[in-house]
Amino acid sequence: MPYRPKPSHRAPATPATGGKPPVRFKRPPLAIQVSTLWDYPSQDYGDGRQGIPGYKGATPSYIIWNLLQRYTAEKEMVVDCFAGSGTTLDVARDLNRKALGYDVHPTRKDIFRVDAKKLPPELTGKVDFVFIDPPYGTHLDYGDDPRDIGKLDLADGTKYYDAMEQVFSEIHRILKPGRHMALYVSDSYEHRAGKGVFHPVGFELFARLRKLFEPVDIISVTRHNKTLEMGNYRKAAEEGNYFLRGFNHLFVMKKA
Ligand SMILES: C[S@@+](CC[C@H](N)C(=O)[O-])C[C@H]1O[C@@H](n2cnc3c(N)ncnc32)[C@H](O)[C@@H]1O
**Ligand 1 cavity residues, CB under 6 Å:** 51, 55, 57-59, 81-82, 84-85, 87, 102-105, 115-117, 133-135, 142, 147-150
- Band (164; pLDDT cuts 50, 70, 90): very high
Interval 18-54: pLDDT, tens: 555 555 568 999 999 999 999 999 999 999 999 999 9
The pLDDT-based confidence of 8 (bands split at 50, 70, 90) is: very low
CATH of the domain at 95: 3.40.50.150
* pLDDT for the residue 201: 97
* 47 within a domain of the structure (yes/no): no
Atom 3 of ligand 1, residue of closest alpha carbon: 84
| pLDDT tens per residue, range 78-118 | 999 999 999 999 999 999 999 999 999 999 999 999 999 99
The verdict on residue 223 lying in a domain is: yes
- When the pLDDT of each residue in the chain is averaged and rounded to a whole number, the result is 91
Indicate whether 116 belongs to any domain.
Answer: yes
Is 165 a member of any domain? yes
Expressed as residue numbers, the domain containing 176 is 58-254
Domain contains 41: no
Residue 218 — very low, low, confident or very high, per pLDDT cuts 50/70/90?
Answer: very high
Flag whether pLDDT at 4 surpasses 70. Answer: no
Give distance in angstroms: CA of 144 to centre of ligand 1: 13
pLDDT band at 230 (very low <50, low <70, confident <90, very high): confident
Distance of CA 134 to the CA centre of its chain: 7
From 21, 2, 1, select the one nearest 12 (Cα to Cα).
Answer: 21
Query: Looking at the domain assignment, is residue 143 inside a domain?
Result: yes
Pocket test for ligand 1, best of 81, 104, 223 (most atoms within 8 A of CB): 104
Strand-by-strand arrangement of the 77-80 sheet: 37-38, 214-222, 247-254, 175-185, 127-132, 77-80, 98-103, 111-113
Nearest ligand 1 atom to the CA of 50 is 8
Q: Which atom of ligand 1 is nearest to the CA of 84?
A: 27
Average pLDDT over residues 210-220: 98
Q: Is the pLDDT confidence value at 139 over 50?
A: yes
Q: What is the number of the ligand 1 atom nearest to the C-alpha of 87? A: 8
Residue 13 belongs to some domain of the structure: no
The per-residue pLDDT for range 234-253, each reduced to its tens digit, is: 999 999 999 999 999 999 99
Our count of domains for the chain comes to: 1
Residue 50 domain flag: no
More confident residue, 127 or 9: 127
